[in-house]
Amino acid sequence: DVKVTQSSRYLVKRTGEKVFLECVQDMDHENMFWYRQDPGLGLRLIYFSYDVKMKEKGDIPEGYSVSREKKERFSLILESASTNQTSMYLCASSSRDRFLTDTQYFGPGTRLTVL
């Protein structure tokens, strides 16, 4: 069964703190993604990775960085948290399926509040 886990379901941090969000998948997937989801704005891609130590910027990378040291783990880092980074953060992973398509599977999400 497909399994993507995220380190926390809820997190409260203060402005200026460094925040680490971790994502782990147990499906041996090559690709991993970080999105944020906000009301009225839908899903927005922050960063993605298609291999260990590889990363690509998504649509809104500013204020974020990522790390992928192992295939199963993809971390999102907020270098200096700000209130406009209060959001639901979603991790996903994907790999080729029988259609030769990449189907993304999501984790449960982390609701981050920055005070």
Which of 65, 84, 111, 62 has the alpha carbon at shortest distance from 15? 84
Dihedral in degrees, nearest 10, Cα atoms 24, 26, 32, 38: -60
* CB 109, CB 90: distance < 8 Å: yes
The nearer residue to other proteins, 16 or 108, going by C-beta atoms, is 108
The nearer residue to other proteins, 19 or 109, going by C-beta atoms, is 109
The rounded Cα 29 to chain-centroid distance in angstroms is 14
Shortest Å, Cβ 70 to other proteins: 19
* CB 21, CB 114: distance < 8 Å: no
Shortest Å, Cβ 12 to other proteins: 16
Applying CB under 8 A, among 50, 61, 63, 73 the residue interacting with other proteins is 50
By CB under 8 A, name the binding residues for other proteins. 2, 4, 31, 33, 35, 42-43, 45, 48, 50, 58-59, 88, 90, 92, 94, 99-109, 111
